[in-house]
Structure 1
Amino acid sequence: MTKRRWMTGLAVAFVLILVAGGVLLFRTFERADRTYATAYFANSTGLYPGDDIRILGVRVGGVETIEAQPQQVKITFWVDDQYKVPADAQAVILSPSLVSARAIQLVPAYTEGPQMKNDAVIPQTRTAVPVEWDDLREQLTKLVEALQPVEPGEVSTLGAFVNTAADNLRGEGANIHHTLVKLSQAFSALGDHSGDMFGAIRNISLVVSALQDSTDVMRSLNRNLAATTTLLTDQPNEVRQALADMNAVAREVTGFVAENREPVGITADKLASISGALDESLGDLEQTLHLAPTQLSNFVNIYPPAIGGFAGAFSLNNFANPIQFLCGAIEAASRLGSEQAAKLCVQYLAPIVKNRQYNFPPLGVNPVVGAYARPNEITYSEDWLRPDYIPPGPPPPDTGPVPAGMPSQTPPMPDGGAALPAEAPEVGSTDLHDMMVPAGAGS
C-alpha cells in the first residue's frame, strides 16, 4: 500500500513538472516572436492588460502590464515581430466608442529607416491620451456659466456682444462685401507670388541670423557711433567750421569746373582713352609687375661696389646670327612663297650683315673704369698719405753731449719722421704677387 502511494505521488509530481515545463516552454517560444517596449502616459483610464496594440487600426500586439507611478503611468506592451515599427514611433491611447475597451495606436506606420528594438522606451513627450467626457463636460459648464447673465432679466456678455455687433454692422453690408472682395484679391495676389514671399522671408531670416551671429561687431559699432556722436557734440564749433570749409571748397570746385568745362571734358576723354588702353593691356601690366621686381633685383646684384663696375654683361641672342633672325621672321610672316622670300632675304642681306654678328653689345656698359677697394684693402706708398697720419712734433732742444754710459732720453728718429707703431706698414716680401695684391685683401 505504501509503495502504491509512493508511485502515485511520483506520477503526480512528474505530471506537474511536465505541465510546468510545457507552460515555460510555451511562454519562451511566445516571447521569442515578439518585440517588447515600454511607453509612459499621463494616465491610462479605461486601458487594461490584454488590450490591443494597433497600427493603422489593425491589431499587431497587446498590453502586457500597467504600472502606476507618481507622475505618470508605465505601460509595457509587445508587438509581433512580423510587423515593423519605426524607432521614433509615437503612442496614442484611442477610444473607439464610449463603451468599448480602449487600445494603443502606434503612429506613423513603418516605411523605411531604423526599426524599434526590443526593450525600447517611448517617453511621455511622444504619447497622448484622449480627453475624458467628464473633463469636456466640466469645461462646457464653465463656458455656459461665463456667458450667462449676472442678474435675471439682464443681457449676458455674449448677448451684449451680439447686440453691439448688430448695431455697428447694420447698413454696412455693401462695404463689408467690398472689403471681402478686396481681401480676396489681395490674398490671390499674395498666393500668385508665394515664391517671392517665401524668398523674402528666408532672406530676412538670413539677415537676422547674420546680425545675431555678429553681436560683438554690432556692439562695437554702437560703441564707436556713440563715441563719434559724443565727440561731435563736445566740439560743435569745429564741426561747424569743417562744414563751412567744405562748403567753400565745393563752391570753388563748382566755379573751377564751370570756367574750365571744355578742358576738363577733353582731359576726361583722354583719361578715358588711357584707361581703355590700360584695360586692354591689363595682362601685360600684370606680367610686368610680376617680373619687374625680380629683374631689378638681378640687375642690382650684378653691380659689386668694391670693383666699381658691373659683374655681368648684356647678351643679344638674336644678333649672334642676324641673318637667321631677320630672314626667319620674314619667312614666318609670308603666307605665299615663304621659302622664296627667305632665299631672297639671305641673298640680299648676307653681304651687308654677315660681318655684323654680336654676342654682346659693341659698347661697354662701364663708362668709368677704375679700381675700387675697401679702406682696409688700400696700401699707401707714403705714410703721410694715410688719412689717420699724425705728423711728428718739433725736435727737442739741444742739451749738450750725453755722458758716456747714459741712455738718451729721446730715441733718435729717422729722417722724414716715422709713423706711429699702430700705423707702421707691415714688412712683407717684395715679389710681384705682394706688389699687385693689397695687404689685408681677401684670399
Structure 2
Amino acid sequence: MKLLDKKTAGDTTRLVVFMVVTALATGLLVVVIGNFTFGSKTTYKAIFSDSTGLVKGDDVRIAGVRVGKVKGIEVHDRNQSEVTFDVLKTSTVTRSSEAVIKYRNLVGQRYISLSEGVGDTGRQPTDQTIPMSRTKPALDLTVLFNGFKPLFAALTPADINKLSYEVIQVFQGEGDTVSQLLASTASVTQTLASRDKVIGELITNLNDVLTTVANRDGELTSLILRLKEFIGGLKDDRQAILGSLDGISSLAVQTSDLVTDVRPGLVQDIKQLRRVTGNINAQGASVDKQLQILPIKLRKIGRTAIYGSFFNFYLCQLSGSVKLVDGLPDLKIPFPGGGQRCNASVLTGGNAERTAN
C-alpha cells in the first residue's frame, strides 16, 4: 500500500510539473504572438488629417520598437481624426515629437511611428493633444499606384510586389537608398524598351483599324441604326413570333404522328426499292441497251399514231388456209396485198426508214 502511495505521489508530482511547464510555455507563446507589453503606460492623443486604415489595437512604435498600441479613434472637428494611444512610461514623448501613420505591410496594416522632432525636448503633457502640425497621415497608395498603372501593366506580379514595397519604403523614409528604386525602375524601362518594336506595331495596327472605322463612319452608323430598327421590329412582333413558334411546335407534333402512321409502309417500300435497284444493277448491260434503242422505238410508235389518237397499220402480206374435210387438201385463201409501198423506203424528217412488215 505504501508502494502504491509513493507511485501515485510521484505520478502526481510529474503531472503537476508538466502542467506548470505547459502553462508557462503557452503563456509565453501568447505574449510573443500577441506582442504584449508590460509595465505602466501613459495615454496621449494626436490629431490627424486622415487616419484611414488605422484601427484599434495597431502598434505604436519608436525607432521600430513596439512601445504601445492604439486605444481608440474618433472624429474631430468634422473632418479630422483624433487618435488615442498609450505609450510605456519608460519611453519619452517630447513636446516636439512627431506622430506619423505608416504602412506595416502591403496588406494594408498600419502603425503609428513616433520620432523625435526639433525643438522643445520637454515631456509631452498627457492633458495636451499632439496638434496636426506634428502629425502626418499615411501615404495614399491608391493615388500613388494609379499613377503607376501603365508601368504595372508590363510587370509580373513578383516585380510589382517588389517595386511597390520599395516605393513605400522610400516614400516613408525607411528605405536604405533611392538607388534600389531607381534600379527597379531602370529594369522596367529596359524591359519596355526591348519591346518597343512590338508596342510600335501594335499602335500602328490600332491606328489603321481606327482609321478604317472612321472612314466608314456612315456605314457603321447606318448598320447600327438598321440593327436598332431590326431589334425594335422583333420586339414589336414578339407576340406573332411566339405564336408562330407554338404553331410550328404543333405542326411538328402532327408531322411526327403522320410519319409514325406511314412508317411501316415506307420502310417496306424502301426495302422493295432496294430489291428493284439490285435487279437493275444485275441486268445493267441489258438495261443500258434497251435505253439506247428506246428513242428509235418511240419514234416509230409516234409515226404510226401521227394521224390521231389511233394507230395506222398497212397490211403488206396475209396468207391463210381452211381445212375442209379430212383427206382433202386445205383451201388456200390468197390476199392481194403488198405492192410498191411495202418495198419502198419512206422518207420522214430527213431519215430513210423501211416500214416493218
What TM-score does the superposition give when structure 1 sets the normalisation length? 0.24
Identify the structure with bigger relative contact order (alpha carbons < 8 Å, sequence gap 6+).
2
Select the structure that is richer in strand: 2
